[in-house]
Structure 1
Amino acid sequence: MSVAWRALPAALLLAGCLRSTPTRDAWTNDTSIEFPRFFEQPAVEAGVDGSTVELSGSVLRALEVAAADFLGPQDANTPCVDRRESHRYRVVQRQGVIFIRIDEDPRACGLTVPALHSGAQYAVGSDGRLLRRLRDGEPDESRVPTDAGPGTLVPTSEVGRSFDPPDGSMPLPFPDAGTGARQGP
């Protein structure tokens, strides 16, 4: 009987490993969706001067989806800068898509400037599906690079060449890369 009791926890552990792990809802990074200019117009801030602001359920769900994706799960040990209440949210709704801009609010944590790349933009469908995400610092694949023109060809003999002093009268005042000795006066 004691062998069966020892085998039971092992069987439960093995059964738990065999279950497929839950995955996030499927989403596509639809680069054909262009984000609006969130700061083009002044925003109406909720809760200022006792004004009433009404959010639809689909907007609230879109905010939850974006915040959960950007900031992850929250608990009592979540650092201040990663908390949902330490961020500012801008929402623009166009043609069945809810666009959300999330930015760190450094004042919420007693800071003066936000961290580098501390924001993101989201496009969420009215059904709650994440359609597009663009975190600050990531390349925007929806923007096609413009051609800078034909440019100027550089001869192979010039690639990697050190240049002479600007007027030829004295060496530049920088250390020589090979010896470390100063070249200038």
Structure 2
Amino acid sequence: MAIKRFMLPAVLLLAGCLRPTPTREAWTNDTSIEFPRFFEQPAVEAAADGGMVELGGNVLRALDVAAADFLGPQDANTPCVDRRESHRYRVMQQQGILFIRIDEDPRACGLSAPALDSGAQYAVGSDGRILRRLRDGEPDGSRVPTDAGPGIPVPTSEVGRSFDPPDGSVPLPFIQSHE
């Protein structure tokens, strides 16, 4: 009898685990897309007194997609530094692609400096899909490293080996003399 009582809740619990977890909308990482230099020219601030700024629906959608991807879902418990309104956004359109730069605004949370690597750049297509994302601190895959030429292979037996044994002329920092 006790087994039958626990069967239904167990089946419901397992059925809930079988549902696919929701994922953010698919995006591609097209490294052939190069981000513009967002700070080469001054931007027009929407909050400037007397300044009129008009945003098209595709710009608003691209901003929403980028902010949702970068900052995740928002609710009343979201910390100040993770809120959408605590960030600054720069938008530029080139060749049908909307480029968005998102940076933390420390003043919005009463801070004096932003956190390290607290921004990101997005390239969003006209259909609202993220074509490329580059978070601060991540390597930029679009830049191909320059070739340093043919290297000299080092045998694994020599990796980490010092060829000049210390002769005592330079004291090693981890050896303390107790004289």
Shorter-chain TM-score: which interval? 0.7 to 0.9
Query: Runs of 5+ in structure 2 lacking a partner?
Result: 153-157
Q: How does 1:5-154 map to 2 (within 5 A)?
A: 7-148=7-148
| 1:125-180 residue CA offsets vs partner (Å, 9 max, x unmatched) | 1111011000001000100112356799xxx8xx735699xxxxxx56xx523522
3-state DSSP class of the match of 2:101? strand
**Amino acid across the alignment from 2:54:** E
Structure 1 distance, partners of 2:89, 2:26, is 24
Structure 1 distance, partners of 2:19, 2:68, is 24
Indicate if the aligned counterparts of 2:24 and 2:69 stay in contact, CA closer than 8 A. no
More contact order relative to length (CA 8 Å, sep ≥ 6): 2
Which residue among 147, 157, 162 is the counterpart of 1:160?
162
| Alignment match, 2:155 | none
Report the CA distance between 1:20 and its aligned residue: 1.7
Q: How does 1:161-180 map to 2 (within 5 A)?
A: 176-180=172-176
**Amino acid across the alignment from 2:24:** R
Structure 2 distance, partners of 1:6, 1:66, is 45
Structure 1 distance, partners of 2:16, 2:4, is 18
1:99–1:180 CA distance, 2 compared to 1 (3 A)? same
Which one is further off, 18-27 or 124-133?
Answer: 18-27
Q: TM-score, normalised by structure 1?
A: 0.79
3-state DSSP class of the match of 2:30? coil
Structure 2 distance, partners of 1:52, 1:163, is 71
Structure 1 distance, partners of 2:146, 2:72, is 36
Residues paired across the two proteins, number = 172
Question: Percent same amino acid among aligned pairs?
Answer: 75
Structure 2 distance, partners of 1:71, 1:51, is 28
3-state DSSP class of the match of 1:141? coil
C-alpha RMSD over aligned residues: 3.1
1:178–1:118 CA distance, 2 compared to 1 (3 A)? closer
Query: Runs of 5+ in structure 1 lacking a partner?
Result: 165-170
Report the CA distance between 1:80 and its aligned residue: 0.8
Q: TM-score, normalised by structure 2?
A: 0.82
Report the CA distance between 1:35 and its aligned residue: 0.2
